[in-house]
Structures are given as C-alpha cells and as structure tokens.
A and B are shown apart, each in its own frame.
Chain A
Amino acid sequence: MSDSRIEGYARALFEIARAEGTIDEVEDELFRLARTLESSDALRNALTDEKIPAARRQGIVEDLLGGKATVTTTQLVSMVVGGGRGRDLPAIIDKLVQRASREKKLEVAEVRSAVALTADQQTRLAAALANATGKQVNLKVIVDPSVLGGIVATVGDTVIDGSIRTRLDNVKGRL
C-alpha cells in the first residue's frame, strides 16, 4: 500500500479512537498488537491471507483481542483486516502511534525488555530517556524474550542498547 493510504488509515483510526476518548489505551493496545504481528508469522499469515474470507479473518481478530483489548481497538483492527489491509496493519499502527505522540508533543520510545516493567519502572525509564535524549517520550514497552536480559530503547534514530543479547553477541563475535 502507498504511504498516503497508510497515512490515511492511520489518521482515520486515530480520529475514531480520539472521538471515542480512548486514544491512550487504543494506541497502546495497537502498538503491542503490531509487535505481536511482527513476531508471529502464523498470525500475520492468518490475517493477511486473501484466501481466507474476510469474515473469518475478522473472527480471528475478535477471538484474539476479545476481552483483552478495548472494544474500540478490536473494532478498528477488525475493520482494517476485513478491508484486506492486514498486511499493512503494523505500518498503519506505527503511523497512528507517531501521530498520537505528536499530538501530545512526545517522541515514541520503543522499549524492548526481557521481562515486564512495573509502572514505577516505566515512569523512571521514561524520565531517564527524556533526560538522555532531551525529548519527552511516549514509552511503548514490548516484552521480548529474545532480548534475554536488560533493555533496548529506541527513540527516533537513537538506539540505547543495554541488552544481554547484544553483549552475548559481542562475546560470541570475539570468541
């Protein structure tokens, strides 16, 4: 899909979520869903396979998100997947998150951690990243076991890598 279409979808989803008054939750849920889609080939294939009827794909979305995400999130994702744009869902969501962050004058900070972070840790981490980058950040935490330990934070073009995975790769490289 072209960038303009992705941008159009992102703007539409953003406006709907903002109108519903659930933009923060929706943005957060969609971000986690996008990362899940990126890491799961099976789920991505199921949601993008044109041979599967749209209703069936939407059913998969509702089974996946029902009860775990807000109704708005579920409906928005179902709409995109039903429209045959499941392949572009991660890109649409990323645009939506950027737009939401811009609205709040924040920079998206993608944080990958091997373990879930507590609310206190997220608050302190957001403050630390703001101190390090000089930008107020919209923290998006992804639990990623491949990190093994520690955290990888990406703010714009800046990557702060404190993961065990990277250290381990360095050690392996030296070996």
Chain B
Amino acid sequence: MSLLSLLAADPSETHHWLLPETAEIIYGGIASVLVIGGLVKFAGPMVKKSMAARTERIQKELDASANDLASAQSDAAGIRTALGDIDAERARLLADANAQAEALLRDGRARLTAEVAELEAKADADISAAAARRGDELRTEIGRVSSSALDKVLPSVLDEATQQALVENFISKVGASR
C-alpha cells in the first residue's frame, strides 16, 4: 500500500485486525524516526564516548593484569632463585657449624688432656714436696733431739781427765803437723 492511499483512506475504518491504522503508522513512523534520529544525534556520542572509555578502562585493566602477571612471574623466579640460594647457604652454614663444632671439640679435648696432665704433675709435685717437707721436718726434729741430747750428755762425758786428754791430743797432733 502506498503512502498516498494511506492518506486518502477513511480514518474511522479499520482495515486490518492486526495492523494499526495507516495514519497511526505514518505518524508513529515519523515519530520513531524523529526519536531515533534524536537518540542517534544526541545520545550517540555520549554512548560512543562511554563505550570508548569502558574499552580503554578494560584495556588498562588488561595491561595492569599483564604487568601484574609479569611481576608475579618475576617474583616467582626470584623466590625460586632465592630458595636455591637459601638451600646453598643452609648447607654452607651447616658445614661451617660442623667444622666449628669439630674444632671446638678437638680443642676441648686437647685442653682437657693438658689440664689433666697438669693436674697430675701438680699432684705429683705436691706429693713430692709434702714428702720432702716431712723428711726435712723429721731430720730437723732428729737433729734437734740429738743436739739436745748431746748438750746434756757432753758435760758429764767431758770430765777433767777427758779434757786433759783432748788438750794433750791437740798438742801432739799440732806438733806432729808441718
């Protein structure tokens, strides 16, 4: 049906049970064209701008995610490297600790052996000194007692006859010497 026939038709007559009236279609069509045109003219740039901004935001998020992923992978690599270093360091520290413990043990044994030897020597020296001191004390005591005994006995032994005999003996010996 042409547009002219629609314009010429009776507006109060319904021509189809489903379709609207021809004028309604015309006015509706024109209104729709106007509305759509307005939408395209005025809302289109805004929607377009919004879509572009959204696209840009999504791109940024994608880039950030990619960067985060790269960073995470780098960190993971670093951590894996560090883990390897830690293992090596732990092994080195353990080796050092073992070496130091061995050296300490060796020194301790040597020092202990030396101290034991020194203590034994000191004990031997103390025993010898004590024995010598006892011996000296005993000899001193014997000497003191003997001296005392001699001092007490001599006056009774050295009577006049003995004194004269000693004098005569001295004169004889001196006279005979030259």
Instruction: Chain A residues near B73: list those with CB within 8 A.
Output: none
B78-112 vs A, CB cutoff 8 Å, 1 = contact: the mask equals 00000000000000000000000000000000000
The reply to whether the CB of A149 lies closer than 8 angstroms to some CB of chain B is yes
Number of A-B pairs whose CB atoms are under 8 Å? Answer: 71
A172 and B173 form a contact (CB under 8 A): no
A168 nearest CB neighbor, chain B only: B150
Knowing A113-B167, A114-B163, the reply to whether A132 touches B174 (Cβ < 8 A) is yes
- Known A115-B163, A115-B164, A172-B146; judge A160-B154 contact (CB<8 A): no
Q: How far is the CB of A105 from the nearest CB of chain B, in Å?
A: 20
Q: Can you list, as one digit per residue, whether each of B153-164 has a CB less than 8 Å from chain A (1) or not (0)?
A: 010001010111
User: Residues of B contacting A114 with CB < 8 Å?
Assistant: 158, 163, 166
Q: Are A150 and B166 in contact (CB under 8 A)?
A: yes
Shortest CB–CB separation between residue B58 and chain A, in angstroms? 122
| CB–CB B146/A175 < 8 A | yes
A92: interface (CB < 8 Å) = no
Does the CB pair A164–B158 fall under 8 Å?
yes
| Chain B residues whose C-beta falls within 8 Å of the C-beta of A134 in the assembled complex | 178
**Complex interface: chain B residues within 8 A of A132 (CB):** 174-175, 177-178
Total B residues in contact with A, Cβ cutoff 8 Å: 24
Cα distance A23–B167 in the bound complex, in angstroms = 28
- Write the chain B residue with the least CB distance to A113: B167
Flag if B174 contacts A171 (CB, 8 Å). no
Q: Is the CB of A153 within 8 A of B158?
A: no
Are the C-beta atoms of A164 and B166 separated by less than 8 Å?
Answer: yes
> B residues within 8 A CB of A127?
175
Contact mask A135-156 → B, CB, 8 Å, 1/0? 0000000000000111101000
Which residues of A pack against B, CB within 8 Å?
113-115, 117, 121, 124-125, 127-129, 131-132, 134, 148-151, 153, 160, 162, 164, 168, 171-172, 175
Interface CB pairs A-B, < 8 A, 6: A115-B164, A124-B175, A128-B175, A149-B154, A151-B170, A175-B143
Taking beta carbons and an 8 Å cutoff, which residues of B are in contact with A? 139, 142-143, 146-147, 150, 154, 158, 160, 162-164, 166-175, 177-178
Seed contacts A150-B167, A151-B170, A172-B146; 6 additional CB < 8 Å A-B pairs: A115-B167, A129-B174, A134-B178, A149-B158, A164-B158, A175-B147
